[in-house]
Structure 1
Amino acid sequence: MTTTYAALLRGINVGGSRKVPMAELRALLTDLGHGDVRTHLQSGQAVFSSGQGDEESLAAGITAAIEQHFGFGVDVIVRHHAYLKAIAESCPFPAAGLEPKQLHVTYFSAPVTPDRFAGIDRSAHLPEEFRIGDRALYLYAPDGLGRSKLAEQLAKPRITRGLIATTRNWNTVLKLVELTDD
C-alpha cells in the first residue's frame, strides 16, 4: 500500500543560497523510488507517494540524498495527508476570515510542549498570537510574518533546540492538503 506524503524542506532557495532546483529535487525523489513526485513553489515543498518506511525514515533518506547530490545539508520534515488535513482542520484561528499572509503553521519534527514557550510574554505581542498543535504551532500575525516580533521570539534557539522547524503560510498549508489527497 502506498501513502502520499509532503516533504517540507527548510531554508532552501532563499536569498540566492542553498539552491535546490525543483526539477532536480523531483528527479532525486524519483531516483529514491518514490512515485507521483510533484513540487509546489520554489520554497521547498515536494509531494510523493511511497510504500516504504515511515515519516522519519523517509525524511532521513531525503536529507541524505540532498546532501550527497547538492553538497549541503537541508532539514526535511515528511508528513502524510491525514496529518496535514488534521492540522488544517484543527486551526484554532478563524482561517476563513483571515488573509493567508496572516496565518502560518510551523511544523516541528517532534511534539512540542508549552514549557518550551514559557519565556514568551504573550501579552507583549498582542494582537499577534500563537497556539500549539500536534507537532505544529499556529501563528496569527496580522501584519504578516516579515513584520512579526512574535515570530522572531518563536524562532529563537531556546524554542527550537533539538528540533527541525519549518514554517508555511496558510495558502501553502491548504495546498499541501490538496496535493496529498489521493
Structure 2
Amino acid sequence: MKYLIAGLGNIGSEYELTRHNVGFLTLDRLADKEGLTFTPSRYADKAEFKFKGRQFHLIKPSTYMNLSGKAINYWLKELKIPKENLLVVVDDIALPFGNLRMRGKGSAAGHNGLKNIEQLTGGNNYARLKFGVGSDFHPGQQVDYVLSNFTQEQFDELPDKMDKAIEMVKGFGTIGISRTMNQFND
C-alpha cells in the first residue's frame, strides 16, 4: 500500500517558521525522525519511507501554498496512488493552537491551498490533518497572522504537537482514518 502525505507551506526562508508552514515543519520533523532527506523533484521536495509494510511518499509542494493542488495532483498520478490514500497536513485558524483534527473530507473553509487541491483533484473527498494555529488576530489581519512566526511559547510546545501529528500520519496508513480519528482527534 502506498500513501501520499502532503505537508502544505510556502517555500522561502521568509516563510520557514510561520504558522502557514506547519505542514512543512511537521514533515521536516518526520523526515528527521526517520533519517530522511527531502530532494527537489517535480513541483515538490520529496522523501519516502516504509513503515509497517506501507510506503509513505512525503511531499512539500514547491508551488507555493495557493497552488498546492498542482503538486498533489501530479504526484497522485505519477505514483499511481488513489485519492483515498492522500493525506494533507495543513494549518487551521479555526482550531486552538496545537489541536489536531483529522477528517476524511470537508470544506476548504477559506483556505486557498485546500481550494486549489479541490479544483485540481476533483473535489473535497481527501483526508486532511488540520493543525490548529489559533486565531489571535483582529479582523482583516488573518493573512499577516498566518504568515507570522509562532510565539516563543508556541515554539516550545511545537515539537510535542508535531510528534502527535506524526503518529496520526502513520496511523492513517496503518490503522486507517476512522481508528486514527477516534484515537487522536482533539
TM-score exceeds 0.5: no
TM-score by length of 1: 0.30
**Which entry has the higher C-alpha Rg, 1 or 2?**
1
